[in-house]
Amino acid sequence: MSLLATRIDLSAIAHNTSTMKALVGGARLVAVVKANAYNHGVERVVPVMEGAGADAFGVATFAEAARVRALTRVPVVAWLWVPGEPVPAGIEVAAPSVEHLRSLIDARVTAPVHIEVDTGMNRAGVDEEDWEEAFALAARAGLNVVGLMSHLACADEPANPYNDVQARAFRRAIDRARAHGLDLERNDLANSPASLTRGDLLFDQARVGVALYGLEPVAGASHGLRPAMSWVARVLAVRRVRRGQGVSYGLTWQAPDDGYAAVISAGYADGVSRAWQGRFDVGVGGRRYAQVGRVCMDQFLVWLGDNPHGVAAGDEAVIFGAGGMSATELAQSAGTINYEVVCAPTGRTHRVYTD
């Protein structure tokens, strides 16, 4: 019996992938599996996504790309690297600056190249004033440029006019690149929220991440996605606490009445952030109980009141997922985003897969 595990529902991964594939229509679906498939595990997730319609995979680093390359037959593109870093065999590469392009030229890279252009997010990509230099340089050198890519800053706000500002900039970039003779067949701007809400921003392919794991990327919306991850721990003990007694370090919380507290087998070494403390519930037996006191390295406590439902040592405790708070609820309560919540389980957590 495991003390701490994430349960990954592969049927939910398949459902979400096929849903997004149908939604993007004729565009190619680039499934983003960076950060070990958003902490869901690439070895099991990548084959499921490919079988459900993924046309390509996107990752951050070359190390991630090499790992995914061994799992699939479709293209794999990486976009987070430093100039001079060797490009692994069989990997497509995104170039976010003129310096990166020069590095690829100097290394005589023949792999497919995606030029990343900045359209207004101001995080990565070739600035507009450098587009002409970048496109001319790539064309003269004969780089195998297959498309442009950029990233939306406000896609989770579908009506935000800045999305249209960025789309217009992206179209300008495509026009200028083609004027230099670059043959662009795989341009992509839309991420998960844009793919779900702004079909007009779909180009040749969509770069979809969080939606594939069943997490809703647009606050307050529902697009029929199925969360794939649940994080479950165990009740280690049930302790009697008298009214007015404090629990955990600093005794920062005191019992409002005589009752019981359950000790749960997870802590900040496993990814339960101290920033969450006092702001989330845990599910036990289909009922939710408030976390109380300070989160410790290996454990935390929840208040059971007079424990009318007989919570006992060994019971399963759902930190998020089926039977407890959703990752999105936990994120909203803790003042963060569901992306971060599913990336949190670590330490002694291991994965269990269901089909």
The C-alpha angle with vertex 96 and arms to 69 and 147, in degrees rounded to 5, equals 65
The Cα–Cα gap between 136 and 272 comes to 49
Ligand-binding annotation for 1, yes or no, is: no
Determine contact, residues 339/30, Cβ cutoff 8 Å.
Answer: no
Ligand-binding annotation for 297, yes or no, is: yes
Determine contact, residues 204/28, Cβ cutoff 8 Å.
Answer: yes
Contacts of 252 (CB under 8 A, 6+ apart): 246, 293, 294
Q: Clarify whether 249 is annotated catalytic.
A: yes
Q: What 8-state DSSP symbol labels residue 27?
A: S
| One-letter amino acid for residue 134 of the chain | A
> Three-state SS for 338?
helix
Candidate list 21, 34, 213, 289, residue with the active-site label: 34
| One-letter amino acid for residue 263 of the chain | V
The Cα–Cα gap between 157 and 217 comes to 10
Phi then psi for residue 331, to 5 deg, are -60, -45
Q: Within 10 A of 275 (CB to CB), how many other CB atoms are there?
A: 12
Q: What 8-state DSSP symbol labels residue 117?
A: B
Candidate list 38, 162, 249, 339, residue with the active-site label: 249
Q: Within 10 A of 341 (CB to CB), how many other CB atoms are there?
A: 28
Q: Clarify whether 34 is annotated catalytic.
A: yes
Residues recognised as catalytic = 34, 249
Annotated binding site: 123, 297
Annotated binding site for substrate: 123, 297
